[in-house]
Amino acid sequence: MAKTVGVLVLVACGLLWAFNGSEADTALAGKKSVVIEAVPQPVPPEGRPVADARPLPDKTEGAREQLDAAGPASDSGPTGAEGRAARVRALLSQASSLEAAGNPAAAAAVLQEGMEASSTPAEAARVGFFLAGLAGSPAESRQLLTGALRQGVVRGGEYERAHELLEQLNRSTASSLAGLTDFGDYVVQPNDSLWKLCNKTFPREFGVSPEVGLVQMVNGLSGTGLRVGQRLMVPLGTVTVEVDRRQNGLVAYLGDVALVAYRVGLGKEGRTPSGSFVVEVKLTEPTWFHGGRQIPYGDPENILGTRWLGFENHPGATGYGIHGTPNPESVGDNQSMGCVRMRNAEVEELFGLLARGTTVNIP
């Protein structure tokens, strides 16, 4: 019970705040040649589609009566867009109070009203971010989170909340992705293994080569064991990564749908390069080359953590990538020499989802 109250208070605080408002680190690559301490020259990022923030159907039966008892938000004040924005703020505050009081159904109805009252897609997506945890179904929750992340309205530490919500949804991935992205259907045959399926069978039968970790995630598999006759969802969408430079966040999308989100560290003094990069090298327990030295994994001076996802070099931007860190407290800040820095457990999860050739966009 105490844990539940704590979560409600945390979300309530976020709602009240809602509208106030490299490292040329280098790893031992496959060709064992890296460029150290590069000075990035920004490359214009490619354009990105923005997902619609559609209001959800009202699935909070009886909640409207509870709202009347709690007292309606005021309709007085400025008119037009300014008035609608003020009303949305009032509704967010009201929803915060209702949720903190243990009335999530009424809070969800208020947030739904806030989406309908919003004057812009970004404003609706912002309200939708807080509604996601109260949505009527896992698919609706993931759709709301996707809209908020695509619209860039998730702020700073709220990426931790986005990570928690998506982590919960990924425990029932089939239902939370239903109808939102495309899957093939495969029945496990004798002598099948996940490695064989991802590297031979799926490319031949579906034209895709998903990573083993991705197949495990979308099918809720905790290990690599398969049984004959087992049905597997085969992810047909492309995995892409978007880095939110302003808010120190990272999102991996499967097709157009948010799959995972993380808080990340970026380069001090704006050293993280802009552009559209491609994952070229994947290394476990990477060695770091720095200052003419080879610093092995496990050495206290090795800053790369447990995984390295190295980008293909660009003119003026070489030796960059995504990696773990022995200093998890630095995640969320701009302390690196330019790379994207993650907590070790989280970069290990991301490592299992991204194939070589994955696009990483950094605006």
Active site residues: 323, 339
Counts for the chain of helices (H) and strands (E), in that order: 12, 14
Q: Give the long-range contacts of residues 85-92, CB within 8 A, separation 24 or more.
A: 85/19, 85/119, 85/123, 87/114, 87/117, 88/19, 88/114, 88/117, 88/118, 88/123, 88/127, 89/18, 89/19, 91/117, 91/127, 92/15, 92/16, 92/18, 92/19, 92/127, 92/130
> What count of Cα atoms within 13 Å lies in the side-chain half-sphere of residue 11?
30
| Separation of CA 287 from chain center | 27
Reference 184, options 224, 231, 216, 220; nearest CA is: 231
